[in-house]
Amino acid sequence: MTAKARFPTRLVDKFGRVVSYVRISVTDRCDFRCVYCMDEDMTFLPRARILTLEELAFVGRAFSELGVRKIRITGGEPLVRNNVIKLFQDLGSLPGLEELVLTSNGSQLTKLAAPLRAAGVRRINISLDSLDPERFRRITRVGDLERVLAGIDAAQAAGFERIKLNTVILRNRNEDEVLPLVEFARERGLDLAFIEEMPLGVIGDHDRAEAYYSSDDIRADIERRYPLVPTTESTGGPSKYFRMPDSDVRIGFISPHSHNFCGDCNRVRLTAEGRLLLCLGQEHSVDLKHILRSHPGDMDRLKQAIVDSMDIKPHGHDFNLREQPLIFRHMSHTGG
Ligand code: SAM
Ligand code: SF4
């Protein structure tokens, strides 16, 4: 591209939805193998196929100059990527960005919570599906609960403005942990979001339709002890929030099956391979890595591709737990 192009200051799709939030997967690798996320035997991408930290920072800058206000770094487990703090530092200094956030399994936080906070991360999500060490190990296949709890302590000590726990509840695996997890969140002053399992990738471990435990089931479990009052609060994502009358803690529900959230979707995702996915539940995408590698440093070309991608953002997902997954990407590849 030669003449200086003029670009919009916000991204709007063909349904009028403003895209102000990007989730970036910085690696498909992980030190856990959660049963709903990965197969036991996973083949990970060779290093050359994933974006470099410099390429990731360049894409982050393009998005922020196009009006994106929030970037979430995710994966795989983002904190197992070498030197990832450098990326947080680069993104944390982008002038237009209002929020730089992270989703992590917590395993590396004893070491990295303080550097992340110093790089400008204000809020983090930590995944926690069980408070029982053996069961935690069964769900993550290899994870160590003590280490994650120590990571949560480190995050609290590092002074993040808000920490939210993410929990996937599966019938006959951990549905009896709803109330213990709510109690834990209340004691610690942490928000807690329950996510319905999504049919992404073949997992082999369980039948997803059989394991389905809906947000309404979870809500009913909680309301046996604590009445939940709906709030209109939003953290800019798909969670619908509730409060308990006697606590500051917010309880969120991410309910792709029971309460579809596509109508007000404000998000796109970048896979570790540099594919810009316009919807978690569809395959519409643009290969940004190709642009980055065939025209290195060409910011205008990259921005034009992002602006054009808005035309193919689909209206919504078609998740169906009773059929074989239509989406063969695992969540770890896509970036949850
Ligand atoms: N490794 C980090 C973690 O676990 O927080 C970040 C990536 S992980 C893919 C992000 C979130 O996606 C986690 O909270 C995880 O529980 C959730 N997740 C993974 N697979 C899922 C699935 N099939 N359906 C719903 N949520 C899923
Ligand atoms: Fe790893 Fe997160 Fe997937 Fe668990 S949910 S296997 S921690 S990427």
For residue 318, what pLDDT band results from cuts at 50, 70 and 90?
low
Q: Is the pLDDT of residue 2 over 70?
A: no
* Residue of 98, 95, 154, 105 whose CA lies nearest to 122: 98
Give the burial class of 297: count Cβ atoms within 10 A of its Cβ; 0-12 exposed, 13-18 middle, 19 or more buried: exposed
> How much distance in Å is there from the Cα of 161 to the middle of ligand 2?
24
Q: Which ligand is nearest to the CA of 269?
A: 1
Query: Domains in the chain, please, with CATH?
Result: 4-331 (3.20.20.70)
If you measure from the C-alpha of residue 6 to the centroid of ligand 2, how many angstroms do you get, rounded to a whole number? 40
**What pTM, to 2 d.p., does this model score?**
0.93
Region for residue 4 given its phi and psi (left: phi exceeds 0; alpha: psi -120 to 50; beta: otherwise): beta
CA of 278 to the centre of ligand 1 (A): 18
The closest residue, in CA terms, to atom 10 on ligand 1 is: 336
pLDDT of residue 257: 74
Q: What pLDDT is recorded for position 98?
A: 96
3-class DSSP state of 51 = coil
Collapsing DSSP to helix, strand or coil, 283 comes out as: coil
Mean pLDDT of 134-147: 97
Q: Mind listing the pLDDT tens digit for each residue in 192-211?
A: 999 999 887 777 788 888 89
Query: Highest mean pLDDT range out of 3-12, 55-64, 237-246?
Result: 55-64
pLDDT of amino acid 324: 57
Write out pLDDT tens, residues 145-180.
999 999 999 999 999 999 999 999 999 999 999 999
Cα separation, 98 vs 115, in Å, equals 19
pLDDT tens per residue across span 39-73: 888 899 999 999 999 999 999 999 999 999 999 99
Q: Which ranges constitute the DSSP H helices of the chain?
A: 53-65, 84-92, 109-118, 133-140, 145-158, 178-188, 215-223, 288-294, 299-309, 331-334
> In the structure, what pLDDT confidence band is assigned to residue 322 with cuts at 50, 70 and 90?
low
Vertex 248 angle, CA 246 and 249, to 5°: 105
Ligand with the closest atom to the CA of 168: 1
